[in-house]
Structure 1
Amino acid sequence: MRKFAKILLVLVVVMGLLFYVGGGWYFSSVFKTDALETAPWPQYYETEVVSFGGAVVTLKEGAHPDEELMDPGVFGLEWSDGYGQLGPFVENDGTLVTREYAPVSGTNPAPGTLADVEATAFPSDPAVLGRTWQTVEYESELGPMEAWQVDGDGSTWAIMVHGKGAGMDEGMRMLSTLSAANLPTLMISYRNDPNQPADPSGFYQYGQTEWRDLDAAIDYAGSQGADDLLLVGFSTGAAIILSYLEQVPDAPSVTGLIFDSPNIDFGATVDYNASQRTLPGIGTKLPQSLTSVAKLLATWRFGVDWEAINYINENLRPIPTLVFHGTGDLTVPIETSLRLAAARPETTRLVEVAGAHHVGSWNANPRQYVLQVAEFLTSLDL
């Protein structure tokens, strides 16, 4: 009996090792694909325009679910030769969705048109906001990088840094919000973006190398007359900004920071996303212990330094900071922003937006977003 118990114990230990090593290896590979590889988010033009009535449009979802179509708030509708904004629901029977509609640019959508519903809410053209702009290049250590330079008044420049998988147009909602201040604005691309130089590692680095591109963009802005900076980061763009502020202690004058859904402790983000997953073939929740093993293997296999990409630390500088974070964010936990606000309570204002998804606070409540940004700019004398 004692011998049998020993054999059983050995089997349990072996099975446990197989579970954690095999499962950890599998999920570290999932992490590599989902988090480190650098492909942009796909865009599907599959939502069909069923009818168009001037101030309303009726749409039918395509093969790929379009969560923005079913979300309340303000979203963009883009097709091959036009762009509009979707507003409140008029009718939704679960198959056809009718929403208020406002044209932005191009032609009106004809029945049968295939479109994409997107959170960006504006086309990739600052001119639709009445702003004069041009595509420029700034010189980084890896070579020239593209940016949109939007004209404005004064020597305080806004520099916008988009999140992973997004593009420069992620800043269009903020640009519309900042338009009243008419700040000169630089909306930058950086390494691993489409048609831009790749990071030598081949991976996304969550601020550990991308900060150098922001540094180069700031040098460019200085050459164009920028004396002070308002740095704006969306999701992982906030991590790039905080990494820059860590790495460049003698940085030019940074007047303020605006973050939207800041992904500034990527280890916590991985834990949060893993908590929403289930074990393949079993259906039970992924245990935190397995996530921890997968993260250890990611360090060994891919060189991920989890401590380095947690920017909520003693290096945080006391710069006036406005943070938006949606309570419905399933990508970056709102607890990250709560920790940031707790770490620098004297300089940080956190706006929790009810129901908003990741980088979706403007979409959920544009009026509140605009008012909060306007108050923040006033406090900075901008």
Structure 2
Amino acid sequence: MAERSKQRGSARTMVGAAALLAAALAFATGAAAAMLAVVFARKVVTPPTRREQDLRILSVDTVAHEITLAANAEARMRGPYGLWFEHDSGHARLGDVIEEHDGRVRRHLTATDFGRPERATRGRINGWYHLGPWELDLPYEDVLIETELGPAPAWVFAPDSPSDRWVVQVHGRGAKRHETLRAVDATRAAGWNSLLISYRNDGEAPASSDRRYGLGGTEWVDVVAAVGYAIERGASEIVLMGWSMGGMISLQAVLRSAEVRERLVGIILESPAIDWVDILRFQGGALGLPRGLGDVVARLLGAPYGGGLTGLAAPIDLEDLDPVVRAEEFTVPILLMHSVDDGFVPIDGSRRFAASRPDLIQFEEFAEARHTKLWNHDPERWNALITTWLAARTPADHDDEAVEIVG
């Protein structure tokens, strides 16, 4: 009897120890997940200061003007790109793919701007392509737009003939106005002015007090200031063009500002961020993070207590930013372009937005192009879509004037 009692006591002890261990593991797992959520949330709203060099440079032939890269989705992209290397101290231009074989991608190396690519072992591809406005070989102005935080630099490109129609270009997260230089030729061809803006916390415009992205919930105010600048310069019709997060920023400016809506005749969206919760889920999965962490991050960003963990001055209600929920409030035509192979912002949000207003939204799907690299992948189609769509926004009175001038 004593022996059996001893065995039962030992068994209970083992069960109790196992339960304690399980509880400890659950606590540790929960704590680790919570820490991951905080790190992820901070990364989402913090402007990046360093870029990941995720491309392996295997060899460079300076005589044949070719470069060989380790094969990955970025290395395989068709079209022209910029290549930053040696921690962004060097820059070159990539032409199209020559061949892919045995895990290697050989491409044209069309130019080296600075640095020694033959000495580099790692780099990153940049879809911007242009280093600055001077490369377009077009007249432009350096201007300052007065925002509530102070003057923000911008570029203005005018068409060949004077026009009161303006496209305001809004770049994406982690980018600068250089990203939007690719659209200047298309907008000028349609006879529109281009205003390429900077906004808070992008490294050029004044920073907010918390130095954090609002994911569209704060930056829209700077777009309103840009629209006001265009109006002061004589704009009577305005189109907002937003890239990635710039798409969300542009949509928020439309939804929240009567001044913007008064002169707005259209919106162009390039690889836009439409559904932040969906984007967080997608990127969490791509990083190999636990399933459901994206939803936790979304709640953390919107929590009243989250500021101490994320650095945000005010919470961000991601559901409140969702333009699909407020789709009935849009009244102007929208050109929406997105790639099924975006790789960073899933196309699902754009599809839902397009389906919510088929009467207004012209939805153009691309394939194989990566995030905000639709121009690089197929510049002929991309330019034609924008030029044709903008031409359709030209009011009848402008057409009459044009005919009158010709006559």
TM-score between both structures, scaled by the size of structure 1 = 0.83
Aligned to 2:131: 123
Q: Which amino acid aligns with 1:343?
A: S
Question: Per-residue CA shift, 1:118-158, capped at 9, x if unaligned?
Answer: 21122312x43332112111100001111111122310001
The residue number in structure 2 matching 1:297 is 300
Residue segments in structure 1 that go unaligned for 5+ positions in a row = 280-285
Matched, 1:232 2:241: yes
Which residue of 1 is the match for residue 167 of structure 2? 158
Task: Give 1:49 deviation, angstroms.
Answer: 7.4
Q: 1:93 to 1:233 in 2, by over 3 A?
A: same
Residue correspondence of structure 1 range 20-169 to structure 2 within 5 A? 20-32=30-42, 34-40=43-49, 42=51, 50-52=60-62, 57-61=65-69, 68-77=74-83, 84=93, 86-87=95-96, 89-93=97-101, 97-100=105-108, 112=118, 117-125=125-133, 127-152=134-159, 153-169=162-178
C-alpha deviation, 1:311, in angstroms: 2.6
Are 1:313 and 2:325 counterparts? yes
Root mean square deviation, CA, Å: 3.4
Percent of aligned positions that are identical: 25
Contact 1:76 1:85 in 2 (8 A): yes
Aligned residue for 1:350, secondary structure, equals strand
> Which is higher, the Rg of structure 1 or of structure 2?
2
Which aligned pairs between 1:321-360 and structure 2 lie closer than 5 A? 321-360=334-373
Cα pair distance change 1:221/1:40, threshold 3 Å:
farther
Q: Which runs of 5+ in 2 are unaligned?
A: 1-7, 308-314, 396-407
- What is the match of residue 197 of structure 1? 206
Please state if 1:181 is matched with 2:183: no
How far is the alpha carbon of 1:170 from its aligned partner?
0.5
In the alignment, does 2:388 pair up with 1:380?
A: no
Higher helix share: 2
1:341–1:349: 8 Å Cα contact kept in structure 2? yes
TM-score after normalising by structure 2: 0.78
In the alignment, is the contact (CA less than 8 A) between 2:144 and 2:154 conserved in 1? yes
Count of aligned pairs between the two proteins: 366
Contact 2:198/2:204, CA 8 A, preserved across alignment:
no
Distance, in Å, in 1 between the alignment partners of 2:209 and 2:100 is 48
Distance 1:309 1:129, change over 3 A: same
For residue 259 of structure 1, what is the aligned residue in structure 2?
Answer: 269
1:70 partner SS? coil
Once the two structures are superposed, residues 247-297 of structure 1 have per-residue CA deviations (whole angstroms, 9 ceiling, x without a partner) of 113423111111111112212211111122325xxxxxx222x44334333
Native 8 Å contact 1:68 1:119 kept in 2: no
Shift of 1:237: 0.3
Does structure 1 conserve the Cα–Cα contact (< 8 Å) formed by 2:144 and 2:153?
yes
Q: CA deviation at 1:380?
A: 1.5
* Contact 1:20–1:293 (Cα < 8 Å) also in 2: no
Whichever residue aligns with residue 261 of structure 1, its letter is: S
Q: Is the 8 A contact 2:158 2:194 kept in 1?
A: yes
**C-alpha contact 1:322 1:350 (8 A) present in aligned 2:** yes
Quick check: 1:369 aligned with 2:379? Answer: no
User: Greater CA deviation, 231-240 or 202-211?
Assistant: 202-211
Cα gap change, 1:117 to 1:30, in 2 (>3 Å): closer
Are the counterparts in 1 of residues 165 and 193 from structure 2 also a CA contact under 8 Å?
yes
Range that drifts further, 349-358 or 74-83: 74-83
1:177, 1:40 → 2: CA distance? 31
Give the residue type in structure 1 aligned to 2:324: I
Deviations 1:68-106 (A, max 9, x none): 44322232357989864512x223445765434656xx8
